[in-house]
């Protein structure tokens, strides 16, 4: 039986390799370039909050003001949620959600658009650049340890001045055992919010309590222990 299984596996591998070679041969250079051009991002379009793949807890200070989305090829969907900003600071309070799906064809696997988010999401260098841009003239601190919501651990940084506090939180979800169906490769979340006062927990509360909801793309996770 083990030998038969080995032959089946080898046969499948050879078949996929042959199909890949045939696809490349029949597509030609012009076809390859043409298909890559179709992978560029579409223009942003406004959507209703109900069309988002996420729900946020009700918040007086950070309500959903507007929502939009765009596609990059057939692999990535990016959602941008503008949130209320009770401060006079420059910049937009927002939640960004990137959903990365698996290609549904062999050619789609060969011709994929560039990833719309890096992995890892931040290095100290890129995080420093981002926090300086987002929170100029504020004292920034990267949290010593990760925080946890229902989808696992996430990292965050805080920024404060004499009147206001801000947070930048980011999370990459790749857990297929409990949260993502097999056809979803990953979900990236980034949350940026500023508020009046110094209560960091209150700023993070919407991110702690968010729920991924779209049935055909995201499976709702059960609450994880230790929140």
Closest CA to 147 of 79, 92, 200: 200
Q: Is 35 a residue whose pLDDT tops 90?
A: no
Give the percent of the chain with pLDDT over 70.
74
Q: Taking the domains of the chain in order of start, what are their residue ranges?
A: 1-37, 45-212
pTM (2 d.p.): 0.79
Rounded Cα gap, residues 206 and 93, in angstroms: 12
Please list, in sequence order, all residues whose beta carbon lies within 8 angstroms of the beta carbon of residue 214, skipping any fewer than 6 positions away: 53
pLDDT at 34: 46
Tens digit of each residue's pLDDT (9 = 90 or more) over 89-118: 999 999 999 999 887 766 666 677 888 999
Tens digit of each residue's pLDDT (9 = 90 or more) over 130-183: 999 999 999 999 999 999 999 999 999 999 999 999 999 999 999 888 888 778
Rounded Cα gap, residues 219 and 211, in angstroms: 10
């Amino acid at each position: 039986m083990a030998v038969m299984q080995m032959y089946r596996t080898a046969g499948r591998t050879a078949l996929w390799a042959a199909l890949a070679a045939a696809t490349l041969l029949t597509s030609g250079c012009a076809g390859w370039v043409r298909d890559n051009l179709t992978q560029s991002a579409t223009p942003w379009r406004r959507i209703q909050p109900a069309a988002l793949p996420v729900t946020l807890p009700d918040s007086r200070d950070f309500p959903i003001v507007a929502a939009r989305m765009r596609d990059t090829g057939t692999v990535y969907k990016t959602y941008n949620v503008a949130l209320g900003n009770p401060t006079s600071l420059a910049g937009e309070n927002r939640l960004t959600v990137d959903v990365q799906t698996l290609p549904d064809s062999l050619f789609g696997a060969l011709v994929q658009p560039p990833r719309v988010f890096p992995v890892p999401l931040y290095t100290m260098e890129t995080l420093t650049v981002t926090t300086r841009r987002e929170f100029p003239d504020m004292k920034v601190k990267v949290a010593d340890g990760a925080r946890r919501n229902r989808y696992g651990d996430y990292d965050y940084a805080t920024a404060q001045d004499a009147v206001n506090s801000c947070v930048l939180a980011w999370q990459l979800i790749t857990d297929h055992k409990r949260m993502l169906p097999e056809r979803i490769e990953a979900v990236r979340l980034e949350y940026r919010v500023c508020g009046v006062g110094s209560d960091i927990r209150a700023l993070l509360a919407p991110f702690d309590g968010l729920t991924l909801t779209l049935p055909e793309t995201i499976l709702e996770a059960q609450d994880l222990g230790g929140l």
